[in-house]
Homo-oligomer: A and B are copies of this chain.
């Protein structure tokens, strides 16, 4: 599988892999937390991997970042305070800050090096890092949620790596309870919830843990994501006393939230559940 001019990620336990043709590796460092590598690919633009797993490519990250942010942002009536846990490439932060209601968007990333490297190699994703409404913290998001004052945030977005290693705690009931507490009434939690094809059991357990943690409603949204395992990904929303099936449609002339994937039709569509997943989530 390995050849020097291809980057290959084996999708662990799934007997499958994706490869991207690379022109050259342009950065490689071991941070205190993980190995950060940057490649120039042939057709996917710049690629960042963490410990050998694809985090972001220029070509397809817009789908993930838009779907991690806009569905929740348009479901909330007027999100003012937003917390992003993880999200070190700053792509979700950028999307959140497109919303004019936002007064403060705090990002809590464990590994400052991820953000510094992203600032250098993904300048478009980081274009809002110096926005006065943005606050970048480099700290443990699990602890941050535990320490948060009750009813602080309108939206909490967990833009994390897979549920292994340091990110495992971001998929736990204890963490969801702290987030529930830290959310204001009618607040929304969003967590990346892996592949509908590969990880239906994980999605089910996340939804159950969210419900046990106190959330009144959960909704899993599906979307394509070429460079993530199976090419198909999901975000699971949990609401604190808010109906997740209704959302605001911005006026057609409101150009504030410019998107490449998201639109109201896509938002509605993402919540449709395939038969096999509907049964797996029962």
**Taking beta carbons and an 8 Å cutoff, which residues of A are in contact with B?**
1, 3, 6, 8, 13-21, 41-44, 60, 62-63, 196-197, 222, 224-226, 230-232, 259-263, 265-266, 268-276, 278
Contacts and interface: CB of A to CB of B under 8 A. Distances in A.
Contacts of A222: 224
User: Which 10 residue pairs are nearest across A and B when measured between Cβ atoms?
Assistant: A231-B231, A15-B43, A269-B272, A15-B42, A269-B269, A15-B21, A224-B232, A265-B272, A17-B19, A260-B276
B15 A1 contact: no
A263 to B, nearest CB: 5
Contact of A1 (B6, B262, B263): B6
A229 to B, nearest CB: 9
Given A231-B231, A263-B278, 15 more contacts: A1-B6, A1-B19, A13-B43, A16-B21, A17-B18, A18-B18, A62-B276, A63-B274, A197-B224, A226-B232, A259-B275, A260-B274, A262-B274, A266-B274, A266-B275
Contacts of A44: 15-16
A110 to B, nearest CB: 29
A230 B63 CA distance: 13
Contacts of A230: 224, 226, 231
A278 B3 CA distance: 37
A8 B231 CA distance: 16
Contacts of A13: 43
Nearest to A265: B272
Contacts of A60: 197
A17 to B, nearest CB: 4
Contacts of A275: 259-263, 266
Contacts of A226: 16, 197, 230-232
A19 B105 CA distance: 39
Contacts of A197: 60, 224, 226
Given A1-B19, A231-B230, A272 B276 contact: no
Nearest to A264: B272
A159 to B, nearest CB: 20
Contacts of A259: 275
A38 to B, nearest CB: 16
Nearest to A63: B274
Contacts of A43: 13-16
A69 to B, nearest CB: 14
A52 to B, nearest CB: 15
A224 B230 CA distance: 9
A262 B269 CA distance: 13
Contacts of A196: 224
